[in-house]
Structure formats: C-alpha cells, structure tokens
Structure 1
C-alpha cells in the first residue's frame, strides 16, 4: 500500500463524558509538543520518511503547504479541534501572525529512518501571500 500524497484535514471524533469532551487520540510512533512563536513566518521544510499529524492545543496559526507550485493556507485553532495530516515529501511551514504563541501536538508516524535534510529550512520558491494567509484565519 502506498503512502498518501495529499494533505488531509479532518475533525476529531469525540464523546461527551459528564462535563468533559474526550477526543480520539492519534496513533503515532512519536509525539512532539511544538511551540510556534508569536509574529513568526517560517521557511518551508519537508520530511522524507515521516507523516506529521498536527493538532493545535493552545492558540492558532496558519499552516502553509506547497503543492503543484501553489500555496494552500490552512488556519488551525484550539477552539476548533481538527487534525492536519501531512505525508512525506510535502513542503510546509507555519505562519503565526498573532500576539500569542501557538502550541500544537505533532503525532508523528515514522516510515523509515530520518533523512539528513529533514527539518532543514528551504527558502520559499516565491513569497507567501501574507494578506491571503491572514484572511484565511477568519474562516
């Protein structure tokens, strides 16, 4: 079975238990807690043998995905729990235009050993459209 080649965005399943809402955890080989600083615009990076599964737990940010020479801007926020699954080979970055930092969980699926160029910044081939990216937050 081949790996997915497109970014997926989906809502988490949950159940109500008393006053609490319980969300389905994501299967992973490794779980990372990531903080995206306020007022930041990141360079692109790509993973060769891992799938990222991102879930914002505090704040919000805009995920930038480069596919077919186009940027896709995906707003993510803690008040709307959804997971973004980024398969290997897809360049992506983070934009946080907010005054507060954003914290997210990355439930990483490993498909092999880390590649030496994983996490190395790649300059964007063309500038981000920060106006469009920021407007996407309001959706």
Structure 2
C-alpha cells in the first residue's frame, strides 16, 4: 500500500541585485487563495488534482490528515516553501492572526474537477489548536524584527 504524504521543499530563487526571482511551479491552473484572519477552516480532499501551495503574504498553519493523524505545517512568506498535497489527502487551514494570508495554488490536474473537490468536509476529529498556536509562537520568536 502506498502512503499518500505531503512533500515540503524550499522555494528556489535567484537574486539579481536587490531583486529576488522565485521559480514558478509548473501547473495546469493557478489559483490565488485568501485565508481570512481568525479562521479555522474545515477540510478539503481532491480526487483528481494535486495542490502545490506557497504563501505570498502572511502566515497560516496547514493541517493534513496522514496515517490517521494530523500533521501541522507552518507556512509563511518569511520562509518561502512549496507544499505539495497529493490526491486524496484531507487538508485544512488555520489562520489565527489578525491579517489575511494570501497564497498561490499551482494545481496539477489528473482529470476534470470533481463537484465535491471544493466542498468543505468536517474534520474527522477536532484540530489541536495548541499545536498550531505553539508553531506560530515559535515562528514569531525566530523571525528577526
């Protein structure tokens, strides 16, 4: 049995003077997504698409259900990275800040969109908001002001 897990990799870039150019992600469709402030989003699962997420403004915690356990991944514009979510992985978002988070989803299509792909799914068990808060607190402490 193949386990479906997310992949996390740094977003590569090239500097030219003071300007930094980030490598675009190959995709079939690109979506700009905004996660409102103070949001604890339900989950989504896609049947025929792979999500490739990267944050362009703000911070949020991505929650994925892998091997019947939640995995919490902090995503921020201060730490550019791409998170790839394969087909069939339940995922949701937690934005506990007072600011919206803006991200790009470079979607890879494996078939036509399914009508349920963008319908929220109730999480099978409650999120551990303490874990999300701890990630955000640790992140704030490590960011240079």
TM range (shorter): over 0.9
Match of 1:31 in 2: 30
Match of 2:40 in 1: 41
| CA pair 4-105 structure 1, distance change in 2 beyond 3 A | farther
SS at match of 1:88: coil
For these two proteins, the number of residue pairs brought into alignment is 137
> Once the 2 structures are TM-superposed, how far is the Cα of residue 4 of structure 1 from its aligned partner?
8.2
Distance, in Å, in 2 between the alignment partners of 1:16 and 1:4 is: 37
Distance, in Å, in 2 between the alignment partners of 1:12 and 1:132 is: 25
SS at match of 1:134: helix
Gaps of 5+ in 1: none
SS at match of 1:42: strand
Which 4+ stretches in 1 moved above 4 angstroms? none
The answer on whether the counterparts of 1:55 and 1:106 sit within 8 Å (CA) in structure 2 is: yes
Bigger proportion of residues as helix = 2
Gaps of 5+ in 2: 140-145
The answer on whether the counterparts of 1:49 and 1:113 sit within 8 Å (CA) in structure 2 is: yes
TM-score (norm 1): 0.94
> Once the 2 structures are TM-superposed, how far is the Cα of residue 5 of structure 1 from its aligned partner?
2.4
